[in-house]
Amino acid sequence: MVVLIKILQLLLSLSILVIIHEFGHFAAAKIFKTKVEKFYLFFNPWFSIFKFNYKGTEYGLGWIPLGGYVKIAGMIDESMDKEQMKKPPQPWEFRSKPAWQRLIIMLGGVTMNVVLAIIIYVGLLAHYGEEYLPTQEVNKYGIVADSLAREMGFRNGDKILTIGGKKVTDFQKIPMEIVLNEAQTATVLRDGKKVVIHFPEGSLRQLIKQKSPYFLAPRIPFVAGNFTKNSAAKKAGLEVGDTLLGINGKYLKYFDAFRQEVQKHKNQTILLIAKRGNDTLRLKVHLGSDGLLGVYPKSNLNDFFHLNQKKYNLIQAIPAGFERTWAGIGNYLKQLKLIFSPKVKAYENVGGFITIGNIFPAQWHWESFWRLTAFLSIMLAILNVLPIPALDGGHVLFLLYEIIARRKPSDKFLEYAQIVGMVILFTLLILANGNDIIKLFKH
């Protein structure tokens, strides 16, 4: 069921993105009275699931859900319609239009994707507002570092002051700050003293590869939230809401410290100290061979921290939506830069449709769906504007050449360029989805 929900979210998101992108080309072509022969969601080699004609354009649904397309008359595109190009140019064809009009038509798709991202962010901010956990709040108790974070130099209880010399107000953006800005240092408060951590060589590569949501987590007191089926602590009398304070006279304030300590007492009876209201409890708990108390900690961040919340009306959400989109474009460009970094080798972790599908939540959640769709819309816009033949950016590159040099590249050159571009795209597609398949077998 989880897989099905992720697939359905992915297909709906991609459908929205493709239709909006192709509509951008379609609308610009219609404005300049250029004939659009086909408008398809998904690809349709050999047959279509359904199709119909309206005012000279064939609209349809293909059966390969990898994208979509509009076929504009008189244009060398992925259809490779050479027969049409042999005929004399007609006034309604793409090739007959001035270069500036063709440029606008080619930029129509990416423009619409950026506009869609802005609209989504405006809507999300106006409806949900924004909420985040301030790093300053986390510093009340400090952090819990996973194994990779400890290899990088972080320690449980560290209070993060700066990353790469820069303060990060949103705690959950710290891993992104490290990766996207290729930070080499962090400054933390450890046992009351400032400590500068220098990340070892290869840390960024490992962080990108791991993709762990628990790289750095907020440290929290151990308050009983729930119990396992055969909980040793529950049998001893512990109740939901009790605060655990220590074991065998050893004061332990945080959940991570308890987790480490109980593992030292497998198959032993311990004296668990806890607090219930104003009462201090001393409970004898016999641990099994797994060395677990059988207690889930209360993990709702609102119980321990003051989250930063901000509400927007529609007027306030509009500039904030533009700002979010602009920041998203900048962040994605930094991600592309990392792919070509020989030190980081981020290309090893480039993913295809399985990776994209996995970023969607296991349960249908509209806020998450629209946030991810906005991100994918920005991603689609940037990828399409890359100067690769067969992408919009390739066509834009040749059109800019035409405008500057005042002469068009030959149709034969454009045909060959289209073929080269399609080979590059298929290679990238195989690389990305091949990485996904390799990861599946590794797991």
Question: Do residues 338 and 245 share a domain?
Answer: no
| Structural domain count, the chain | 4
Per-residue confidence (pLDDT) for residue 393, from 0 to 100 = 85
Find the CATH number of the domain harbouring 172: 2.30.42
pLDDT tens profile 371-414? 999 999 999 999 888 888 878 888 888 888 888 888 887 777 77
Q: Is 305 a domain residue?
A: no
Question: Do residues 322 and 354 share a domain?
Answer: yes
Question: Do residues 40 and 158 share a domain?
Answer: no
3-state secondary structure of 51: strand
Domain boundary among the residues 238, 270, 298 is at 298
pLDDT tens profile 54-88? 888 999 999 888 788 899 888 766 555 556 666 77
pTM exceeding 0.85 = no
Give the alpha-carbon dihedral of 103, 105, 108, 109, to 10 degrees: -100
**What is the pLDDT confidence band of residue 127, given thresholds at 50, 70 and 90?**
very high
Question: Do residues 272 and 288 share a domain?
Answer: yes
Q: Is 229 a domain residue?
A: yes
Per-residue confidence (pLDDT) for residue 356, from 0 to 100 = 66
Q: Is 328 a domain residue?
A: yes
Mean pLDDT, all residues of the chain: 86
> What is the rounded distance in angstroms from the CA atom of residue 365 to the CA atom of residue 8?
12
- CA 19, 21, 26 angle in degrees (round to 5)? 85
Question: Do residues 215 and 141 share a domain?
Answer: yes
pLDDT tens profile 269-289? 999 999 999 999 999 999 888
Task: Indicate if the pLDDT at residue 352 is higher than 70.
Answer: no
> What is the rounded distance in angstroms from the CA atom of residue 356 to the CA atom of residue 43?
19
Question: Do residues 164 and 198 share a domain?
Answer: yes
Domain boundary among the residues 237, 268, 298 is at 298
Q: What token pair was written down for 182?
A: 């290729």
**CB neighbour list of residue 95: distance below 8 Å, 6 or more residues apart:** 74, 75, 85, 89
Per-residue confidence (pLDDT) for residue 395, from 0 to 100 = 82
**What is the pLDDT confidence band of residue 113, given thresholds at 50, 70 and 90?**
very high
Task: Indicate if the pLDDT at residue 47 is higher than 70.
Answer: yes
Q: Is 40 a domain residue?
A: yes
Percent of the chain at pLDDT exceeding 90: 48
Range of the domain at 55: 35-93
Question: Do residues 374 and 316 share a domain?
Answer: yes
